[in-house]
Structure 1
Amino acid sequence: MRKNLNTKIIVILAALAICVFGITGIPHGVTPAALKNALVSRINLGLDLRGGTHLVLQVHVEEAVGATADSDAARIQTELQQAGITVGSVVRDPQRTDAIQIQGAPADRVGDIRTTLNNRYSSQYDITSSSGTSWTLTMKPTAVRDLEQRTLEQAIETIRTRIDSLGVSEPVIQEYNLGSNQILVELPGVDDLARVHDIIQSTARLEIHEVQGGPWPDEAAALQALGGNLPYDSVLLHEPAGTASPNSPDQVYQVKKAPEVAGTDIRDAQTGRNPNTNEPQVVFYLTHAAGDHFADFTGANKGKSLGIVLDNKLREVATIRDQIRDTGTISGGAMGEQQAKDLSMLLRTGALPASISYLQESTIGPSLGADSIREGVMASVVGMLVVMVFMLVYYRGAGINADLALFLNLVILLGFMGYSGSTLTLPGIAGVILTIGMGVDSNVLIFERIREELHAGKSPAAAVDQGFAHAWTTIIDTHVTTIVSAAILFIFGTGPVRGFAVTLTIGLLANLFTAVFVSRVIFDSNLNRKQRGEALSI
């Protein structure tokens, strides 16, 4: 019996040591300041305690649907030409984002057209024809929903990558379940809202297009030069004033709609210096496949012009002097050091699949977080001291047992948070306080049951044994039901609500260990030191 008790005591001491290390790690000294710094470095503080930025973003997924339809329209045009079928136009329906219209198709090639379309597009589009000369491809509802969900997930991953590049610790970036196609972003310690806007919202979609005409001073002059009609495979893009040089005017170019290099073809981007002007520039590198295609294109089109398009605006128009494979540069204009760094980061992390808008935005100052920490810790300490004093007064010697178990419960909770990197929020502190209450409740159940067994005339050892045995079922019931409730809060809640659920769940699991195992070991150790028939202080 004594050997078994010693083993249990060693287990408890080992758990205590492991959890203390989880809370403080290896402190640089034993002074209060060193211990405080060690604690702060292990326990991550949430937005409401540390201060920072809170955002709710709306992702305009319909833009991704429209972009997919545009891309498919260009691909259909190419595939029909390869099949020897000439049509008037293949464009996205101007009234809808999920439909493609084919006009001017030869009526004698209906079968060939349907075969070409069915081979690749029947799984995503419903294909119909009214007269044989016009066709409509409408994206299926399931395909639209899948595309919208992928767009939301890609936006979350892109934003997370960009935020990680800012060095923000423990950011919250997740789907916001209270709205449709919305993202919750919480950035502890970040209060520069303008910089966050620039980093998150910019789509930074870099493309390289063939320039087919221009420049003209405005779109009206461009359309007049083109005979009043813009070819369906072309678009007009602006080169904003000051882009080519500090004093250059706004100009309009005709460029091919389908890009030769798209944003997904970029594998890396870094900042550098223009060797001639020493101005900041961004050097980008293409993937192997994109580099091969670009080399073939530039090798066959020497003397023609290329346009580097960033977010639907021309950044540079350059003449192809020689074959270009996998490297290009962006420079000029008013680009400074910080703009070059931000642009290279955006190109590395990829373009957002759709634009976003801000539904909610707020900043929380660190002083408010410091007040919350001070008041929350004070509430926890006062609550714990009051409970411990009550247990000592009401249960006498057994109250020491309960207080030791309660203290160990708190150490296990903080130790787990230190190891797991969990974020402590203000509702999380409330979860800690509730855990203290639940821990006392378990001890009260056990102690009252022991008292009943003693009043029934049983010996102290038998009363302790029966008290734990009969209270165990009730303790399990109360803890399991509360943990289930906490799990529901974690699944459907956001941010601070999840912090409350996490701390409550960890605290309850720790309480099962301390109230049942630790408390029982303390009782058994106390009984071993007593003489047979000696009363139990409870």
Structure 2
Amino acid sequence: MNKLFRIFIVLLVIAIAAWGFSYSYIWYFKYTKKDRDLTNLTAAQLANLPEKERNKIKEMKKLRSRIINLGLDLQGGLYMVLQPDYEELKKRRGGQELSQADVKDAMRRVMEILRNRIDKFGVSEPSITTQGEDRIVIELPGSKDPDRAKNIVMGRGLLEFKLVDEDTTAKLRRDMFDEDGNLIDKSVIPKTSELRYYWEKNKYGILEKKRAIVLYKKTLLDGSYIKRAQVQTDQFGKPEVVFSLSSEGAKKFAEITGSNVGKMLAIVLDGKILSMPVIRERISGGNVRITGNFTMNEAKDLALILRAGAFPVPLEIVEERTVGPTLGEDSIKSGIKAAIIGSILVLGFMLLYYKLSGFIADIAVILNMFILLGILAWLNFTLTLSGIAGMILTVGMAVDANVIIFERIKEELRSGKTIAASIQAGYDKAFRTILDANMTTLIATFVLSQFGSGPIKGFAVTLSIGIVINMFTSIFVTRLLYDIGIDLFKVKKLSI
């Protein structure tokens, strides 16, 4: 292949990598963390900003889609593994066995609702993936309030309107309950009714059971009729959630309130009674208010959950892990420190042992890392600690390829061949060995990326891309550098 054409290919690859990496450089070094956090604002929050600021954030969002993102272990956040409770869904259907289609449909709807909730919550680069057939992995890197994020993810959003069984409720006495607040003799509750609890915040702002209330089991109206939900403030400036019902829901609500004037109507969310207003008159128009001792964030979260809809099946937390931002910063520092020390030791060894040829290998290794970062940026890759480990291993494998080549060249020189012939023979004979070694590693990384998840997948993807680049830099680039050096300096003795 013509030397000029080979130089053109190398420069083209470097230019593409530099172009890709430039977006990450601008994102992490030009913009401050405060600027970057603005891209997580919701549409409602953006609407209150000046147009100039909105345009800046719009450009930053475009930029964010082309950078190397930092994973959960590098910037902190929330990691959860959820599992649908299909037994509960089966009970709701009267014990009827669920078909494979039912399970798939439930999982699809759960994933859709989760994405709607998390997208509106405002977290940069959230990850929602399935693990196997019945598990959902959620990663929310950079989440500053893990408890709030967890409430949004786990809130079922099941809103129900039920009438209060006032006669049975009036008969309840304190001595009917044990120390934990559980009813001792459940036979006092009629078959058509059920025991629920009215929840209120204590002085620490934590929801707790206040009193037992008996409700009729029949659900008069549920959240499926909600068309729109938003936060407003009442006359005293306290947040409240106002939602509009669809035309069918508004008609049903008018019938319910019209036929139950003077009775108490419980508004139940995920099994907790939030309020029990007395129906004073028939309510038409389909606008309903939920009042309570909400903070503004709690009211916004409730409106978000109601808009996204209720889960078709309850979810259980199988695994939960919260990584603090300080721990994430320490991980970044430790990872970068390990990468730098490892690279210096490897590059230094090559330089000392193989002299000028080692310097050529070092250029190839540095170029390998630069191209790798550029490609990861183009892929909008999320870098984790395991990904950094894959990059460090790539450095080792890049050097390993050059060691094989250099030892082959030494053998050819000892046999009495010229420098050019030794280099030619060294690369030709080493190529098969390097290819075989890299192909076996690629097969292993492919299996890991297909069947692994989370950190394992990140490691496999980073390493596999690094191996492909390694084939280019350790064979193509170093050979080109040798050819240029021999032609320019008329080398009579090879420094190797």
Report if TM-score (shorter chain) is over 0.5: yes
Which residue is equivalent to 1:204? 157
1:395-444 deviation line (CA, Å, top 9, x unaligned): 22222221111000000111222222222222222111110010011112
Which residue is equivalent to 1:516? 475
**Bigger shift: 432-441 or 166-175?**
166-175
For the pair 1:167 / 2:122, whether they are aligned, the reply is yes
Q: Which amino acid aligns with 1:430?
A: A
For the pair 1:14 / 2:12, whether they are aligned, the reply is yes
Asked if the contact 1:172–1:495 (Cα under 8 Å) also holds between the matched residues in 2, the reply is: no
CA distance in 1, matches of 2:401, 2:200: 72
Q: Which amino acid aligns with 2:226?
A: I
CA distance in 1, matches of 2:433, 2:224: 58
Pairwise CA distance, 1:237:
6.8
Q: Which amino acid aligns with 1:272?
A: Q
Alignment of 1:67-466 (within 5 A): 67=92, 69=93, 92=94, 97-98=95-96, 139=97, 143-177=98-132, 181-190=134-143, 192-208=145-161, 211=163, 214-218=165-169, 230=191, 236=194, 238=196, 240=198, 251-254=213-216, 256-257=218-219, 259-260=220-221, 262-274=222-234, 278-286=237-245, 291-294=246-249, 296-297=251-252, 303-305=258-260, 308-313=267-272, 315=275, 318=279, 321=282, 323-324=284-285, 327-466=286-425
Asked if the contact 1:272–1:283 (Cα under 8 Å) also holds between the matched residues in 2, the reply is: yes
Change (3 A) 1:298 1:382: closer
For the pair 1:527 / 2:486, whether they are aligned, the reply is yes
Which residue is equivalent to 1:134? none
Change (3 A) 1:219 1:360: farther
Change (3 A) 1:242 1:463: closer
Change (3 A) 1:240 1:500: same
Asked if the contact 1:401–1:522 (Cα under 8 Å) also holds between the matched residues in 2, the reply is: yes
Asked if the contact 1:279–1:331 (Cα under 8 Å) also holds between the matched residues in 2, the reply is: no
Asked if the contact 2:117–2:304 (Cα under 8 Å) also holds between the matched residues in 1, the reply is: yes
SS at match of 2:166: strand
1:216-240 deviation line (CA, Å, top 9, x unaligned): 352868xxxxx99656xxx557573
Pairwise CA distance, 1:242:
7.0
Which residue is equivalent to 1:105? none
SS at match of 1:303: helix
For the pair 1:46 / 2:4, whether they are aligned, the reply is no
Q: Which amino acid aligns with 2:216?
A: Q
CA distance in 1, matches of 2:240, 2:473: 61
Which residue is equivalent to 1:478? 437
Q: Which amino acid aligns with 1:45?
A: L
SS at match of 2:258: coil
Change (3 A) 1:219 1:62: farther
Change (3 A) 1:355 1:383: same
Asked if the contact 1:59–1:357 (Cα under 8 Å) also holds between the matched residues in 2, the reply is: yes
Task: Percent identity, please.
Answer: 37
Asked if the contact 2:113–2:309 (Cα under 8 Å) also holds between the matched residues in 1, the reply is: yes
Aligned residues: 438
1:8-55 deviation line (CA, Å, top 9, x unaligned): 2233223223323333428669xx965998999843222222233333
CA distance in 1, matches of 2:167, 2:324: 50
Structure 1 runs not aligned, ≥5 long: 70-91, 99-138, 222-226
SS at match of 1:256: coil
SS at match of 2:79: strand
SS at match of 1:282: strand
CA distance in 2, matches of 1:266, 1:422: 38
1:352-372 deviation line (CA, Å, top 9, x unaligned): 233333343333333333333
1:365-400 deviation line (CA, Å, top 9, x unaligned): 333333332232222222222222222233222222
TM-score by length of 2: 0.76
Change (3 A) 1:20 1:229: same
1:66-123 deviation line (CA, Å, top 9, x unaligned): 33x1xxxxxxxxxxxxxxxxxxxxxx2xxxx32xxxxxxxxxxxxxxxxxxxxxxxxx
Which residue is equivalent to 2:181? none
CA distance in 2, matches of 1:36, 1:464: 49
Asked if the contact 2:168–2:189 (Cα under 8 Å) also holds between the matched residues in 1, the reply is: no
CA distance in 1, matches of 2:325, 2:211: 46
SS at match of 1:272: strand
Which residue is equivalent to 2:85? 60
Once superposed, what is the RMSD of the aligned Cα atoms?
Answer: 3.6
CA distance in 2, matches of 1:36, 1:58: 38
Pairwise CA distance, 1:176:
4.2
Change (3 A) 1:530 1:249: closer
1:469-514 deviation line (CA, Å, top 9, x unaligned): 3322222221121122112222222322222112111211111121
SS at match of 1:218: helix
For the pair 1:467 / 2:420, whether they are aligned, the reply is no
CA distance in 1, matches of 2:367, 2:32: 19
TM-score by length of 1: 0.71
Change (3 A) 1:379 1:332: closer
Asked if the contact 1:162–1:345 (Cα under 8 Å) also holds between the matched residues in 2, the reply is: yes
Change (3 A) 1:293 1:216: same
CA distance in 1, matches of 2:308, 2:488: 66
Asked if the contact 1:23–1:39 (Cα under 8 Å) also holds between the matched residues in 2, the reply is: no
Asked if the contact 2:114–2:153 (Cα under 8 Å) also holds between the matched residues in 1, the reply is: yes
Pairwise CA distance, 1:201:
1.8
Change (3 A) 1:153 1:241: closer
Asked if the contact 1:303–1:319 (Cα under 8 Å) also holds between the matched residues in 2, the reply is: no
Asked if the contact 2:240–2:292 (Cα under 8 Å) also holds between the matched residues in 1, the reply is: no
Asked if the contact 1:59–1:355 (Cα under 8 Å) also holds between the matched residues in 2, the reply is: yes
CA distance in 2, matches of 1:56, 1:489: 20
Change (3 A) 1:217 1:194: farther
